[in-house]
């Protein structure tokens, strides 16, 4: 087990328990989340180390690693994913100012985003720890997908864009990845990172049952403020922040399931709609956010 007794972001010795959340997906084990009173960072206090965490990903429901649609909720998720894939492709194009170029998708899962970019004419590589997902992605889309250990073998300044869609919150060593991303980006290259926002309306509403705590798979729980501190510390500038508008529905439905609500799908869609409207007056309270980063 890894234990964070000081704040991983500002090294304050004063973090205290914020709440306790349950692993609803695999183990039913409980994990404490701590919050730093000095910088506001929320993190999972103690969690399995890299060699032991694999079993906490061993669920048929972990959609990004297992492509078969099981149940109504996953079917809706797969439809929504197609909408999001196109939005992500447009965001890459707009933020880099390029129609085609080279892109690395870190944590590419079953490779649908990487495949979308390849189809759009980009030169694509992926990084993925899960062997089954890696094999699926390279077989289906013909993309070179590497084990995370091989990231250091990629040549310097070789990518116009590096994407991490809901991935960074899983890294045991986020600083090591930040250093690799700095090395791999071409001058003027853009890194795009999507993360859950624990300062969102849905996080506040669902409390301990908020599905995006996703312990112990999520180790870091960023807000726009704490992510800016992290990025600065790693020599990146946050150039833009945008909401990921559909995530709130998925997270709200899962959170209703965690609460064992009656008709979680309908209830989650209704509350998700309410939060989506509330976010119109302030994107920083959105369920998930996309951060655009450039090297300082």
11 versus 79: smaller Cβ distance to Zn ion: 11
CA distance 173 to 164: 14
Q: Which of 25, 36, 117, 162 binds Zn ion (CB under 5 A)?
A: 36
The nearest distance, CB 234 to Zn ion, in angstroms, is 15
78 versus 229: smaller Cβ distance to Zn ion: 229
Q: Which of residues 38-57 bind Zn ion (CB under 5 A)?
A: 38-39, 41
Which one, of 230, 231, 207, 226, lies nearest residue 293 by Cα? 231
7 versus 25: smaller Cβ distance to Zn ion: 7
The nearest distance, CB 4 to Zn ion, in angstroms, is 10
Instruction: Tell me, residue by residue from 145 to 164, as one string, x for binding to Zn ion by CB under 5 A and - for no binding.
Output: --------------------
33 versus 253: smaller Cβ distance to Zn ion: 33
Size of the site for Zn ion (CB under 5 A): 8
41 versus 210: smaller Cβ distance to Zn ion: 41
The nearest distance, CB 231 to Zn ion, in angstroms, is 15
7 versus 63: smaller Cβ distance to Zn ion: 7
The nearest distance, CB 39 to Zn ion, in angstroms, is 3
With contacts defined by CB under 5 A, name the span among 35-43, 143-151, 210-218, 263-271 that binds Zn ion.
Answer: 35-43
The nearest distance, CB 6 to Zn ion, in angstroms, is 8
The nearest distance, CB 14 to Zn ion, in angstroms, is 8
β-pair partners for 102: 123
- Four-CA torsion 212, 214, 216, 220, nearest 10 degrees: -10
With contacts defined by CB under 5 A, name the span among 1-9, 87-95, 110-118, 120-128 that binds Zn ion.
Answer: 1-9
140 versus 233: smaller Cβ distance to Zn ion: 233
The nearest distance, CB 247 to Zn ion, in angstroms, is 26
With contacts defined by CB under 5 A, name the span among 33-41, 53-61, 148-156, 280-288 that binds Zn ion.
Answer: 33-41
CA distances from 92 to 71, 101, 111, 163, 289 (A): 31, 10, 16, 9, 15
41 versus 206: smaller Cβ distance to Zn ion: 41
SS (HEC) of the chain? CEECCCCCCCCCCCCEEEEEEECCCCCCCEEEEEECCCCCCEEECEECCCCCHHHHHCCCCCHHHCCCCCHHHHHHHHHHHHHHHHHHHHHHHHHHCCCCCEEEEECCCCCHHHHHHHHCCCEEEEECCCHHHHHHHHHHHCCEEECHHHHHHCCCCCEEEEEEECCHHHCCCHHHHHHHHHHHEEEEEEEEEEEECCCCHHHHHHHHHCHHHCCCCCCEECCHHHHHHHHHHCCEEEEEEEECCCHHHHHHHHHHHHCCCCCHHHHHHHHHHHHHHHHCCCHHHCCEEEEEEEEC
The nearest distance, CB 9 to Zn ion, in angstroms, is 5
Q: Which of residues 2-31 bind Zn ion (CB under 5 A)?
A: 7, 9-10, 12
Residues that bind Zn ion (CB under 5 A): 7, 9-10, 12, 36, 38-39, 41
């Amino acid at each position: 087990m890894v234990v964070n007794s000081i704040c991983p972001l500002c090294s304050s010795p004063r973090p205290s328990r914020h709440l306790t959340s349950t692993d609803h997906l695999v183990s039913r084990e409980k994990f404490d989340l701590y919050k730093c009173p000095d910088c506001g960072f929320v993190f999972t206090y103690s969690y399995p180390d890299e060699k032991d965490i694999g079993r906490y990903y061993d669920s048929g429901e972990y959609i990004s690693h297992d492509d078969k649609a099981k149940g109504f909720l996953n079917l809706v998720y797969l439809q929504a994913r197609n909408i999001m894939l196109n939005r992500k492709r447009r965001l890459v194009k707009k933020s880099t100012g390029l129609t085609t170029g080279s892109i690395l998708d870190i944590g590419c899962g079953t490779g649908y985003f990487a495949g979308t970019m390849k189809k759009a004419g980009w030169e694509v590589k992926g990084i993925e720890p899960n062997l089954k997902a890696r094999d699926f992605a390279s077989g289906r889309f013909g993309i070179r997908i590497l084990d995370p250990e091989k990231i250091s073998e990629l040549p310097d300044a070789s990518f116009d864009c590096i994407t991490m869609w809901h991935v960074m919150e899983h890294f045991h060593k986020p600083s090591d990845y930040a250093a690799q991303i700095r090395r791999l980006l071409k001058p003027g290259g853009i890194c795009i990172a999507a993360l859950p926002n624990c300062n969102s309306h849905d996080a506040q509403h669902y409390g301990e049952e908020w599905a995006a705590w996703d312990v112990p798979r999520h180790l870091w729980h960023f807000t726009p403020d704490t992510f800016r501190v992290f990025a600065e510390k790693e020599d990146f500038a946050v150039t833009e922040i945008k909401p990921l508008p559909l995530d709130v529905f998925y997270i709200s439905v899962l959170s209703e399931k965690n609460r064992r609500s009656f008709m979680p799908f309908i209830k989650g869609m209704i509350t998700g709609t309410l939060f989506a409207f509330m976010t119109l007056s302030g994107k920083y309270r959105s369920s998930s956010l996309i951060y655009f980063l450039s090297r300082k």
